[in-house]
Structure 1
Amino acid sequence: MSTPPSAPTASAGGLTLAELPTVVAALCDRVGLDPTGAQLIKFTNNAALRLATAPVVVRIAGSRAARASITTVVQVARWLTGQDMPAVRLLSGIDQPVEAAGHVATFWEEVPVTGPAPTGADLGRILRRFHALPEPDFALPDWAPFPRIRARIADAQGISARDQEWLLEQCAAVEAEVRSLDYVLEAGLIHGDPFLGNLIPGPDGPVLCDFDGVSWGPREWDLTPVAVGRLRMNYPEDHHTPLADAYGYDVTAWVGFPVFRRLRELVLVTSVLPQLAGNPGIRAQWEPRYASFRAGDTRTRWDTYH
């Protein structure tokens, strides 16, 4: 297995980089695939690897939240295939999820990254189509971001107890504000984390991926990540305006948007807490995020994690 030189070596919710070759080998052996030369794509809350011997991506749950949602991920992926959505497809012919070496994973058909870079308009159209799907024939979890946030704070590495306490206080405060919100859009199926990074530029157009957060909840939440990206992230262009035009609704005009912005920024600050001690690069990007978030500074731009 080949890995980038700067890859983290510490645990990501129970999975470590050092054990990845053994885990991948065991998982591939379980389904009859060859792990030789597997390349690490990403290692945060999940570890995603591209096999060199077959057009397959292995996605290993690397956090408690990812492991808890993997059954729903499989159900959603199979259902989306039946709905003919432009979404990544599970590898057929094997029972999923797959368990081996104390870990659980899913296997996916690799999407060739050969198309043009996705745009905000692409995501707006896909989200509009996603939200128009009929209710699935299986039970979706209710939208519940706060237990995930608290779990990541509990698993934090390399921050003080005082910082953990402050983040938990913020989580409680935002949760109370969310409970009091009045929504404009009808609740229903939501992706949970739709931003441009979760669109793969396939040969036939953008393909949606990452179903860990799929649930039943407020549609306003699915329109929040890109809106917050325009206001907070150090992106070279505005993807929110074309997304809002394509979707038909501008979430920033909603009276509850400042609360959802704060929640989204809390998610972005806490998402990598379990990896801070083992990845100096992530920590260097996280520290200015946390400092501005804690200071109530809404103007400082954040770099993406990489």
Structure 2
Amino acid sequence: MTETAVQAAATAARNLGLTVDEPTVLYEGFSTVVHLKPSPVVARVPMTLPGALQEPEPAVRQQRELDVVAWLVEEGLPVVPPSPLVPMKPVQQDGLSMTFWTYVDVDKAAEPDYVAATARVPELHDLLAKYPGELPWMTPLRLVGPGLNAVEAVPGLLEQEDVDRARAEWKVLEPILTSRTGFQEAFPTAIVQPLHGDAPAWNLITTVDGPLWADFEDVTIGPREWDFAGWGPDLCRTYSEAASTPLDPDVQQLMDLARVLQLLVCTPLVPQIPAMADGIRMFAVQWRSMPFAAGLG
């Protein structure tokens, strides 16, 4: 899959007029990220997922990310920008949909500082709250239902009783998690707004020119607590101390559970991404001690 993504990215870039002599993989995971050397451009090519987890319209999601990030650039937020050397739209090549971004020089000597990154998230949230475009509700959870229907037990990783519990929890939580109306009926005082959507404290890149926000693929409308799902009480406390309004512990408990369910449906991807197994196992151990359906059912 990686080689296919690299070749597709290089071909698409050349078709757009870029010089590509040495495409180099920077990252592999849910996406393959390719530096299209010598051009100062990076292609991000999402991997092809199993049917139940496959994004039905990946280009729609990608255009949404490009639009939001372009707006953030205009507003002066330090963010990895779309490449100005190509049109700002997803490109289709060899059955894959990809986007192109400005290459940034990462400071490889810097150690991740999640506390410092977390303290900066309120600034990001405050700006995102002003985003004038339309965003859908909780897009990161759009595939949990189909994924749970398709997931199978994997002994030693995800047992059958885990699968049964996850499906039962989703039956209770689906009306709350997949509908803004349903969520706000359950949590009328929660702050709902545009979000990064995928753990922004993880996606603050330290470059040689300073930190830059990145990877807005899951930008969405939802409760602020979703951006800290699964990060634990210490970093949630750090955010609350830096924000004008603290996180809601009841909403956080629900978002933590939603993150687990989102991760469990990725179990079929372990053969393609073996490193996921440790994360799934760790979250599953924590999840088994959580209240069923976050106490809502």
TM-score w.r.t. the length of structure 1 is 0.74
By how many angstroms is 1:70 displaced? 1.0
Indicate conservation of the 8 Å contact 1:124/1:246, yes or no: yes
By how many angstroms is 1:175 displaced? 2.7
Distance 1:121 1:248, change over 3 A: farther
**1:43 match:** 28
Moved more, 54-63 or 147-156: 147-156
Q: Report the 3-state secondary structure (helix = DSSP H, G, I; strand = E; otherwise coil) of the residue aligned with 1:217.
A: strand
Moved more, 149-158 or 172-181: 149-158
Distance 1:260 1:297, change over 3 A: closer
By how many angstroms is 1:76 displaced? 0.9
> Among residues 185, 191, 198, which one is paired with 1:186 in the alignment?
191
Task: Measure the CA separation in 2 of the matches of 1:140 and 1:208.
Answer: 19
Indicate conservation of the 8 Å contact 1:41/1:48, yes or no: yes
Cα deviation 1:256-287 (Å, max 9, x = unaligned):
332222112222333x3342123334335434
Q: Higher relative contact order by CA 8 Å / sep ≥ 6: 1 or 2?
A: 1
**1:172 match:** 171
**2:242 match:** 246
- Aligned Cα root-mean-square deviation (Å): 3.2
> Among residues 240, 255, 258, which one is paired with 1:263 in the alignment?
258
**2:180 match:** none
Task: Measure the CA separation in 2 of the matches of 1:129 and 1:281.
Answer: 30
Structure 1 letter corresponding to 2:97:
V
Structure 1 letter corresponding to 2:223:
P
Indicate conservation of the 8 Å contact 1:119/1:196, yes or no: yes
Structure 2 residue 208 is matched with structure 1 residue 203: yes
Moved more, 156-165 or 208-217: 156-165
Structure 1 portions without partners, runs of 5+: 1-15, 232-237, 299-306
> Among residues 289, 299, 305, which one is paired with 2:283 in the alignment?
289
- Number of matched pairs: 271
Give percent identity, aligned residues only: 20
Structure 2 residue 97 is matched with structure 1 residue 104: yes
By how many angstroms is 1:19 displaced? 2.0
> Among residues 145, 154, 172, which one is paired with 1:150 in the alignment?
145
Structure 1 letter corresponding to 2:243:
Y
Structure 2 portions without partners, runs of 5+: 178-182, 292-297
Task: Measure the CA separation in 1 of the matches of 2:253 and 2:165.
Answer: 20
After superposition, residues 228-243 of structure 1 pair within 5 angstroms as 228-231=230-233, 238-243=234-239
Distance 1:288 1:217, change over 3 A: closer
